[in-house]
Amino acid sequence: MSPERYSRQTLLKEIGEEGQRKISAARAVVIGCGALGTHAASLLARAGVGRILIVDRDRVELSNLQRQTLFSEQDIGEPKASTAERMLKRVNSVIEITSTMTDVRADSVENLVDGATVVVDGTDNMETRFVVNDACVKLGIPWVYGGAVGTSGMVFPIVPTGPCLRCIFPTLPPTGQLPTCNTVGIVNSLPTVVASLEVTEALKVMLGQDTTPELLIIDVWHGDLQKIRVKRNPDCESCGKHHYYAYDR
């Protein structure tokens, strides 16, 4: 590991040289390689996370280029995951970056996240997040939830000792009820902010430090930031009752 590459990071008292060694020994799984996922994967690679897996089933579209930073016009029609992998290998050739173009389902998710130090949410739908949440709770893997639509976003780090996503959202909302980028749009600065907060929490996990214990809600247009304390629900289907992959529509 070249000391120069991460010199501005090891100067931080929060990280230091020992912290950098922990980051270099860590494995991160990025689920989804859209607006949040491209920013998150880029930051993780630049920070020197030793092993990164990028998971996404989609191909690059023209409308993605407004906010998804690892793609260009020449990549339209190409798989997002492998395109991001190629780009990030040019950014950092001394870490291990892999990708897979696959659906994240109950029958595949555990194989994808098993052995991860931390999982980072780059998805755009709650059903996939529920699947990721259940797998991480079941396997005892920390993960960081993030969402971004319109001008507002949310971030919540989920650790084995704390509340999980289903403590906040007990059941899946009906299809079409939640706003999406396809229905209400998104300002392109928002994913940068949300993904940066997600990666900061992920780095804390890698370093063995306490994560932020609140749900962060940010509106970049109005400059608002809220913190909401979330309590673990003993009756939560996931972290309380350990009923995994059984969701009520």
- The question of whether 181 is a catalytic residue gets the answer yes
Phi, psi of 148 (to 5 degrees): -150, 125
Is-contact 124 180, C-beta < 8 A? yes
> Helix H segments across 28-170?
35-47, 80-91, 109-113, 126-139, 165-168
Does an H or E element contain 201, and which?
A: helix 190-207
Query: 145 forms bridges with which residues in the sheet?
Result: 156
Q: Which residues make Cβ contacts (< 8 Å) with residue 232, sequence separation at least 6?
A: 162, 163, 164, 167, 239, 240
Q: What is the rounded end-to-end Cα distance, in angstroms, of the chain?
A: 49
The C-alpha atoms of residue 66 and residue 204 are separated, in whole angstroms, by: 30
Catalytic choice (33, 181, 236, 239)? 181
What residues are annotated to the active site? 181
